[in-house]
Each structure stands twice: as structure tokens, then as C-alpha cells.
Amino acid sequence: MHDLDQLRDWDAEAPPLDDETRHRVRVRLFAAMHEPAPVVRRRRPVVRIALAGTVAAAVAATVLVAVRDDDGAAPRTATPPVGSAPAMQNVSVQTVLNGAAAYERAHETTAAPRDDQFIYTKEIVKERNQKTGRTNTYVDENWRSVDDSQRSWVMEVGKGWWSNPPGKNESVWPTQDWTLLERLPTDPDKLLRAMRDPFDTKPDYSGAIGKADWPMIHFSLAGLLYRVPVMPKGLRAAAYEALGKVPGVKTIPGITDAKGRTGIGISYSGVGSMDSTFIFDPKTYEFLGFRDARSSGDGKDKKTYTQLTYLDEWAIVDKVKQRP
């Protein structure tokens, strides 16, 4: 973790890393910490790593880059939300996430973007300096290529840059690729096993999940839930239920979101975890937003920030910079 902390704190006074590069770094470090966990398959040359700018410790932007070695090509019923707010300190992880799954099934919007389209998202980020208390608000607008074949425009804390498509034999996670998303199972137990390697076209649904698998499963699920606003029917609900089965996931009562609403937090306390928390409404279990932390500088110049983020709008559009 010391190496990861150094990367998080490094500020080279350069633009932030793009999604792919930042998390190539994270996945390589993660693989080193958790050998022999199947994080990156390497029948072909290892993914390149380029360091520039600040590595932000945010699962909100989690991306896994894996080297491909192939050419591959009945939702469960969740426990319904309760009618009144539970005693927040007594709410279990399963109650919150099964409730979130039920809310999603009741409100999900079905859509099927084309490969040549883009997923537009507008996120509001409120960032507070933990030492001074000063708060800044940013509007981050992103246009991500559905099949990762075109340049995407991504933003982080008000700064935007072009993100190039993955290189040959590379794949980016989380993905917007509808073909890949449709391959993922909507049974939470099968989805857990698929998340050990989201690019595997023939996952082993019967194989036992090892201790070293769980951190990778959590990162894969969290990235899917936060960064992919458009999913096939039943997939998001299954991902919530699957997340509730991950050891180390816990509830944190009384968390305030970016709009000042008090909710229940779901956080991960496993090996390699970050200060990253999903926030849900305590009555309906609707997803409200995300809390994260980042730092820059070193020593006496080190600055630490708390970030509160929520998705203000999303849409399927035909080209970059096109707004709905």
C-alpha cells in the first residue's frame, strides 16, 4: 500500500491521467499485492504504463485494462424496500443492497446504444479541503465511446482531456460495450464469479471464489455500478445483490451526500480498499451519490480532499460534445 500512497500523493503539475492510464497503474500494483489473483492475463505483451499527473484514488473512476488472449465474442427477486426508515445503525449490508436492487428493478430505464454512439454523463462534484474547509464545486461532463473504438472526452474536477481508444489486444473496464454487458449474467452468484475476469467469454460459474479473488471482484462490481449508467435489464440490480455478498463490505450510517441529504453508506474495508463509499436513501434505498477522497502534494504541502459526487444527467448521443 505504501507504493499506492506515493502514487496518490504525487502531483507533477500535469493534467490528470486519463481513465485508462490511471488504472493500468492501479491494476499493476493490485496484481503485485495479490499474486496469484487473476487480474491481468499475459499471453501477449504486458500493458504499457505511462505516468503523468496525479493518480486519484477514486473507485468512481475505476478502470481495469486487461490483455486479451482470445477473440471471444431469470433475475432474482430482491427484498423490497421497507415502508419507513429503519434504525440506521442496525441496517445490514444485504438489507441496503437488496433494497437498492428492488428500487432499481422498479425504476430501471431500458436502452440499447449502438456501437458508434457515446454515453454522455453530467456529474456534480463537491470537493472540500479537509484542512481549510474550503469547498469547490465542479461540473464534469463525459462522452465515452460505447465500444471504445473512438476517442472519448473525460473530465475530472473540472479538467477535461481526450482519452484515446485502448491499444491492440487491450480492453477497458468498466466498459460501455453493450455486447460485453449483455454477456454478463443477471444472477448475482454467477455475476460474482464473472467479475473475477469480466472479459472472459466462458467464465467458470462453478468454481469456488478464493480469498485473493474478492478485492478484484469488489473493484469490478464497484466500477460497473458507478461508471456505467446504461445497462441491460436486470444487470444493475444483480450487481447490487452481488456486492452485498462480498466480504468486507459494510454499512456506514448518517453519511451526507452532495445535496445535503442524509443516507446510508456502503463501503469496502478489504485489502487495498480506498476511502470510497456509495450512498443510498435510508427509506427507498435509491442510489444518491458517492463519497471519495483524494490527495495531492507531499509533506507540508500535502492537501487532502473529500469529494461528494452525484450523477445529474445521462443520455445516449451520436457524437462527442453533443448534449441531450
Give the amino acid at 267.
Answer: S
pLDDT of residue 245: 95
CA dist 188 and 185 (Å) reads 7
- Asked whether residue 189 is assigned to any structural domain, the reply reads yes
37 near 218, Cβ under 8 Å?
A: no
The three-class DSSP label of residue 101 is helix
Residue-wise pLDDT tens digits, 25-83: 444 444 433 333 333 333 333 232 222 333 333 344 444 444 444 444 444 444 444 44
pLDDT tens-digit series, residues 281-299: 999 999 999 999 988 888 8
Mean pLDDT of the chain: 78
Q: What is the DSSP letter of 26?
A: H
pLDDT at 141 (0 to 100): 97
Q: Does a structural domain hold residue 308?
A: yes
Q: In sequence order, which ranges of 162-234 are alpha helices (DSSP H)?
A: 178-183, 188-194, 214-227
- The amino acid sitting at 217 is I
What is the distance between the alpha carbons of residues 142 and 58, in angstroms, rounded to a whole number? 16
Residue 273 has what pLDDT?
55
84: three-class secondary structure by DSSP: coil
Q: Is residue 322 included in any domain, yes or no?
A: no
Q: How far is CA 93 from CA 58, 90, 106, 278, in A?
A: 21, 10, 20, 12
Residue position matching grid coordinates 460534445: 321
| pLDDT of amino acid 272 | 53
Spatial CA neighbour of 313 closest among 232, 234, 229: 229
Comparing CA positions, the residue from 222, 269, 229 lying closest to residue 249 is 269
> Within a domain: residue 294?
yes
**In whole angstroms, what separates CA 312 from the centre of its chain?**
17
pTM for this predicted structure: 0.74
Total structural domains within the chain: 1
Predicted pLDDT at 15: 53
Domain of residue 313 covers: 2-317
Does any domain span residue 324? no
> Residue 137 in contact with residue 125, Cβ under 8 Å?
yes
Q: What is the pLDDT of residue 90?
A: 63
In 3-state terms, the chain is what percent helix, strand and coil (to 5)? 25, 25, 45
Residue 283 lies in a domain: yes
Under-50 pLDDT residues of the chain: 1-14, 19-88
User: DSSP E strands: which ranges in the chain?
Assistant: 64-67, 118-129, 135-145, 152-156, 159-163, 170-173, 249-256, 262-268, 277-280, 287-296, 303-317
